[in-house]
Structure 1
């Protein structure tokens, strides 16, 4: 997701704003919030929240996020770290099979794969510290779409079909994503009224609406009943953090990218550092492509 308001450096200079996201509804949500007087940070909150609704297989308030921000007024740059964290009771032995070897399925499926969510705290952090609008305005598009529903695109339907067997193991998930036990077909309307209510709680109460109170207890009870090890203390302790981004130069361009716990920024810096030693425009397409592949492989 990229949200930019105001002028950008050449060669791209949108007159007012540009938004790039993984779904048209999320991009539209960002522009809707800009139209209500919001800034780029408000739009980013709207886009991220809407992605949680329209592409839950890839985004969502049950996971985490990293947000790279630049404030146009003073050039301030920061990374908001809202990555999910492991519950305090995590034990590596929980992820071993009967043979004592790592069981990958336990780390990607089911209750033991679920970290303490960070995205809600990240959205609240950005809105309260950098936004202009109240959360109830920035989250309104996501709440509306979750309640009214939408017709998922082909990628959504394909991903549900691929994960059908895992989804079917959990009654609540099956009721939400499957139709009579089968993957939905094109034209199906996907509604998530419970998600709409959760987003409303966050809009009204901020972090307390998610990490404390009745909702927090419901989340913990559900995870533990399924075999997980969350506690209320895990949720109450969670907080987003601000970190300095990675900054480096590449062929005269100042690159600002994500710092750990993201691995992407480090890999990008290493890759471009390697490529910076070559005159790429002097290489033919085959050798240039091979060089880039090898730089990526080693980064």
Structure 2
């Protein structure tokens, strides 16, 4: 996170904030409020605080709502006091982080609300902004979602391209057994495009999750009916918020949604400066 913040500040400030340097009294104190201009779910608050403090360690945090708080329009997510010049220099970088991450949390919250009352969890994916993955996945969690694997290193997911490179189902089963012997605590997930694949994967030892890719609701329901003890099902592909209740009704354990991170709209937040001559 810190490297990303430093890079963002270098990108914006460069050799110096010329406007603030020449048009702001360096001794003037002020209070800055970051205000929600629409209902949203806050995420990235600690990142925003760190940006302010990187610009000026003497800035004083007065108030900060926790990530995951639903903010109504007009509510101040945070207030910070100090030199007006420092607040102005930090403004855009703070807002860039907050608007993006709160956008991820807000869309996640809406998806989670759509399956409320069921046992289905909303998952994110690896379709994240390069360098922002941990921040965006934290924003998903702030919105009530569940993080899928963080990267290629913490879970096995054998997808269609992996299966195309595999000689046979017997070879796949041997690879799963070999992997489980080496990494018994890491989960193995297989992607299935057809019900025939689901039936074959259910019969394999060591498979923890079967991903049902772009299946119809009826196909998902039939796939879930094949469940054995300890096996979970994830629905993915063509997921829209309107379809969520219907998909959850099939009994899948998870619904993964790339749109939580790759298509989240930045929410409308603004920073207001309140002059403080004292």
- Fold shared, TM-score > 0.5 on shorter chain: no
- Which structure's relative contact order is higher, taking Cα pairs within 8 Å and 6+ residues apart? 2
Larger CA Rg, structure 1 vs 2: 2
TM-score by length of 2: 0.22
TM-score by length of 1: 0.21
Q: Judging by fraction of residues, say which structure has more helix.
A: 1
